[in-house]
Every structure is written in C-alpha cells, then in structure tokens.
Amino acid sequence: MKILRVSREEIDKSKWNSCVHYANNGNVSGYMWYLDAITKDWEGLITEDYGSVFPLIWKKNWLGRKQIYQPELIIEGGIYSENMLSGARIKAFMDALPSDYKSLKINISNQAKIPSSLGLKVENLRRQQLILNKPYQDLQGDFSPAFHQQLAKAAEHQLQPASNLKPEKVVDFYKAHSKNYKKENYFAYLRIMYNAMHRGWGFANGITNKKGDLLAVYFFIYSHGKIMVLLPAISKEGKAKGAAELLLSMLLQTHASKPVYLDFNGFEDIGVGSQEQVYYQVSK
C-alpha cells in the first residue's frame, strides 16, 4: 500500500471529500471545508486512489517542534477509509508519518484495529448518542424524571421556539452563557455554521420567553446519519424554566422514527436517555 504526503493545496478536493462521504467511519469533521474552517495548518496522507485519507492537523509546541493534535472542534478524526480500518492499514499510515512531526495525539473511531506493535498509547474515550428510530412516545419513556419536570416548567412559563437564528447571534449567546466558549475559536464557529447552512446541513434552534428574550440555543449539523450538536448554550433563566429540555424535546418530536442518531458531540446529555459510545485517543 503506497501512502503519499500531500499539501493542502495539492489535495484533489472532490476525491478527498468523496472518501470522507463514503468512509465507514465518515463524519462531517473530515470534509475539507470543515478542516479549513478550523485551521490553515493541515496537510494530508492519502492512498493513491484516495480510498483512505488522513488529515494531519498540526501546531508547534513551545520548542518550535511540529506536533499532530486533535482540535477542540473535532471530537473524532484520524484516518478516514472506505475500506476496513485494519491493523495493516493503520500501520501503513503511521509508518508514513513524516519525520518532522515529533508527537501525535488524535481521537479515532472505535472501528480502528490498532496493532500493539506500533507502540501507541491508546485510551478509551466516551461520548453520548441517542438513536431516534422509535416513535416519540417511546423516546419519551427514556426521559429522566428531572427532564419531565423541566418540560412541565417550560409549558407553565409558555416558552416559545425560535428559528432562523443567524450564526452571529448563536455565537454571541454561546459566549455569554457557556463556559466552553473560546475567544480564539470565534471565527471558526462562524465559518462552520455558515458552511453547514450553505450546504443545507446546519440549522439553529432556540427557545424564548414570552417577551422574546432568548433562553437557549443549539446549533445542529446533519451528516452521515447523525444530527451533531454544536455550541449548546442556556441562560440562567433558561435553566430555571426548562428551555433546553423543551428545545431537545422538539427536536426529538421532529425526527422521531427516523434512522438517525442524535450525537451530543462531547457535550452533556441533560436527560433524554442517550447511550455511551466508545472511541479512542491515540498518542505517541
């Protein structure tokens, strides 16, 4: 298996994106537009037919040495492949890593068969996902008692849905009400959302009080049979009145009985009955 190193500018965009689209472990984070939205500092390893691709996202440490790392806005990346991620395929890519990279830390799909002979440190990570292939009444049966109580509060306070929210409004609300907001990611947030909306893959939902004040916002991205959560935020008033619970409940009602997953993307499930999914953090 021949592995080629290609700069960002040399990559065949159509072939790269096609691999990510059809990969057994594909996700939205592997598309070139998503990678470009996060950083300009990346290149790729590819097989000659683009059947497998590996984005190398890099930065320099305090000594000026290049290291491959996992950006905060990509929960799972690594090698995307239309073929099984066998031990031989992973070894071929790891052996092809350029020598100018002095360390590596990435998150990779649990489909990967990582050979122990590579000397990689492998840790299990966990994320929350909920499959929506049941009627809403059945999904509702898995809600926690606290979630049901919050829905009752939302009805009591006559909270209302809000749609067609602009990305700037979503980010400003996230900045004001989430401890996860990072100033250095401001423009990356906007680029991801605008790109997703342009492709018809992304939308923002919110909840307001009777006066029209925004209480909760979630941005969602459709891709690879999943609805991925991005930038969830809730105000103090929203927490007291069940705004986030109402927002998620409305999403589940809309998508119930469909063969898709709600992927919390590393964020907390606030009580809809999601299941843990294991994936790997690999470092060297």
Nearest in space to 47 (alpha carbons), one of 82, 86, 76, 71: 82
Q: Which residue has the tokens 């998508």?
A: 255
Mean pLDDT of 214-222: 98
Mean pLDDT of the chain: 96
Residue 61's pLDDT is: 87
Name the residue with higher pLDDT: 227 or 116.
227
What are the Cα distances from residue 36, in Å, to 39, 54, 133, 137, 215? Answer: 5, 14, 33, 41, 31
pTM over 0.85: yes
Residue 177's pLDDT is: 98
Report the distance separating Cα 96 and Cα 54, nearest Å.
11
How is domain 128-277 classified at the architecture level of CATH? 3-Layer(aba) Sandwich (3.40)
Residue 63's pLDDT is: 87
* 21-33 pLDDT per residue, tens: 999 999 999 999 9
Which two structure tokens, joined as six digits, stand for 12?
């065949």
Positive or negative, the CA dihedral 222, 12, 60, 69 is: positive
Residue 1's pLDDT is: 85
Report the distance separating Cα 261 and Cα 223, nearest Å.
10
Residue 121's pLDDT is: 95
Domain boundaries defined on the chain: 3-119, 128-277
Residue 140's pLDDT is: 96
* 54-96 pLDDT per residue, tens: 999 999 988 889 999 999 999 999 999 999 999 999 999 999 9
Residue 130's pLDDT is: 98
Q: Quick one: pLDDT band at residue 138, thresholds 50, 70, 90? A: very high
Nearest in space to 45 (alpha carbons), one of 113, 91, 102, 105: 91
Q: Quick one: pLDDT band at residue 192, thresholds 50, 70, 90? A: very high
Q: To which H or E segment does residue 139 belong?
A: helix 136-140
